[in-house]
Amino acid sequence: MSNSISYNERLLKIFAGVRCLNKDQLPRYLEGRLTDIEKHLVEQHLVDCDLCFDALQILHKEGQLEKYVRLSNGIQQYIRDSIKPVSQLQKMERYVRKAKKRESMLIYFWLVAFIAGGGALMYLMQQYNRNKPVMARPAAVPVVPAAAMAASPPPATDSQTLQTRPVTLASSTGAVTTPPATVTPPPPAANDSAKTAALKKAAEDSLARKAAAVAAARAADSLRKKAAAKDSVARHTVKKDTPVMAAATADKTEKPVKQDDNNTAGKEKAESSSNASKPAATKAAPSSSTVVDTDEYLYRAAMVYQQQGNLDEAISRYKRLTANTGRVGEMARYQMAVCYRSKGQTGKAKRMFKEVVRMDGTMKQAAQQALDNL
Amino acid sequence: MYQQLSNLSDKELIARARKLKDREAEGVLLERYSHLLVAICLPALKNNAGANAQTLFPSLLQRLSNGLKTQSIQKASEWVHQTARTYFAHPDKQIPYYPSREAREQLHTENRVEKAASNTIEKQTLITQIQQALAGLSTDDRYLVEQFYLENKTFADLAAQKGYTPDKVRHLLKKAKSRLAMQLTNQSHVK
Is residue A185 assigned to a domain? yes
C-alpha B152/C-alpha A152 separation (Å) is 128
Answer yes or no: is A140 within a domain.
no
Instruction: Give residue-wise pLDDT tens across range A89-132.
Output: 777 888 899 999 999 999 999 999 999 999 999 999 998 888 87
Same structural domain, A227 and A308: no
Q: Note whether A292 and A351 are same-domain residues.
A: yes
**Residues of A150-183 as b/e, b for ≥16 C-beta within 10 angstroms?**
eebebbbbbbeebbebbeebbeebebbbbbbbbb
A293 and A265 within one domain: no
Highest mean pLDDT among A107-111, A134-138, A210-214, A231-235 belongs to A107-111
CB contact under 8 A, B112 and A15: yes
The dihedral built from the CA positions of residue A229, A232, A233 and A234, taken in this order, carries a sign that is: positive
Per-residue pLDDT at A241 exceeds 50: no
- A293 and A372 belong to one structural domain: yes
Give the one of A14, A21, A79 whose C-beta lies nearest to B177's C-beta. A14
The verdict on residue A102 lying in a domain is no
CA–centroid distance for A327 within its chain: 33
Contact A303/B at CB under 8 A? no
Nearest to B125, CA basis, from A16, A2, A12, A14: A12
Count of CB pairs separated by less than 8 Å, A with B: 148
pLDDT at A188: 46
- pLDDT on residue A180: 42
Chain A CB contacts of B5 below 8 Å: none
- On whether both A244 and A298 belong to a single domain, the answer is no
Examine the domain organization and report whether A266 and A174 are in the same domain. Answer: yes
Q: Of A117-121, A213-217, A229-233, which has the strongest mean pLDDT?
A: A117-121
Q: Diameter of chain A by CA atoms? A: 168
CA A1 to chain centre: 95
Residues of B in contact with A46 (CB under 8 A): 155, 170
Q: Which residue of A12, A23, A39 is in closest CB contact with B35?
A: A23
**A178 plus A260 within the same structural domain:** yes
Same domain (yes/no): A250, A308? no
Q: What is the mean pLDDT of chain B?
A: 87
Q: pLDDT tens digit string along B8-18?
A: 989 899 999 98
Note the helical H segments in A174-309.
Answer: 179-183, 187-201, 203-240, 243-265, 267-272, 277-307
CATH of the domain at A302: 1.25.40.10
**What is the pLDDT of chain A when averaged over all its residues?**
69
Interface of B with A in 40-79 (CB under 8 A): 40-43, 46, 53, 57-58, 61, 77-78
Across the range B56-69, mean pLDDT stands at 89
Contacts of residue A12 in chain B, CB cutoff 8 Å? 113, 116, 123, 126-127, 130
Examine the domain organization and report whether A266 and A291 are in the same domain. no
Domain count, chain A: 3
Given a cut of 90, whether residue B172 has pLDDT beyond it is yes
- The pLDDT assigned to A294 comes to 79
A 27-56: CB under 8 A from B: 36, 39-40, 43-44, 46-56
Say what the pLDDT of residue A308 is: 87
Q: What is the mean pLDDT of residues A301-310?
A: 87
- pLDDT score recorded for residue B34: 92
| Mean pLDDT calculated for residue range B123-147 | 90
pLDDT of residue A157: 42
pLDDT of A324 higher than 50: yes
Question: A52, B106: Cβ pair inside 8 Å?
Answer: no
With respect to residue A34, please indicate whether it lies within any of the assigned structural domains. Answer: yes
Contact across the interface for A54 and B40, Cβ inside 8 Å: yes
- Asked whether residue A224 carries a pLDDT value surpassing 90, the answer given is no
Task: Tell me which of A272 and B119 has the higher pLDDT.
Answer: B119
**What pLDDT, in 10s, does the model give residues A36-65?**
888 989 999 999 899 999 999 898 887 778
Q: Is residue A99 part of a domain?
A: no
* Residue A304 and residue A232 share a domain: no
If asked whether residues A183 and A266 sit together in one domain, one would say: yes
Of A338-352, B95-109, B133-147, where does mean pLDDT reach its minimum? B95-109
* A125 occurs within a structural domain: no
**What's the pLDDT score for residue B139?**
92
* A195, A277, A286 from A263: Cα distances, Å: 19, 13, 10
pTM: 0.50
**Residue A75 belongs to a domain:** no
Q: Which long-range contacts (CB under 8 A, 24 or more apart) does A213-217 make?
A: A213/A175, A213/A176, A213/A177, A213/A178, A215/A173, A215/A175, A216/A166, A216/A169, A216/A170, A216/A173, A216/A175, A216/A177, A216/A178, A216/A182, A217/A182
- pLDDT at residue A210 in the model: 56
Place A86 in a pLDDT band, splitting at 50, 70 and 90.
Answer: low
pLDDT of residue A83: 79
Domain boundary among A216, A243, A270: A270
Find the length of chain B. 191
Q: How far apart are the C-alpha atoms of B172 and B144, rounded to whole Å?
A: 8
- Specify the DSSP class assigned to residue A170: H
Same structural domain, A240 and A302: no
Q: Taking a contact as any Cβ pair under 8 Å apart, which residues of chain B between 1 and 20 contact chain A?
A: none
| Residue pLDDT, tens place only, A171-190 | 444 444 444 444 444 444 44
Q: Which residues of A47-83 are buried (b: 16+ CB within 10 A; e: fewer)?
A: bbbbbbbbbbbbbeeeebeebbeebbeebbebbbebb
Last residue of a domain, one of A63, A84, A107: A63
Instruction: Say if A192 is an interface residue toward chain B (CB within 8 Å).
Output: no
Distance, in Å, from the CA atom of A96 to the CA atom of A89, rounded to the nearest integer, reads 10
- The answer to whether residue A237 scores a pLDDT higher than 70 is no
A151 vs B22, higher pLDDT? B22
> In terms of Cα–Cα distance, which of B147, B102, B109 is closest to B127?
B109
Which range marks the domain in which residue A370 is found?
287-374
State the Cα angle at A343 between A340 and A346, rounded to 5°.
55
Among A217, A245, A270, identify where a domain stops.
A270
Domain-located, residue A326: yes
A23 touches B: beta carbon within 8 Å: yes
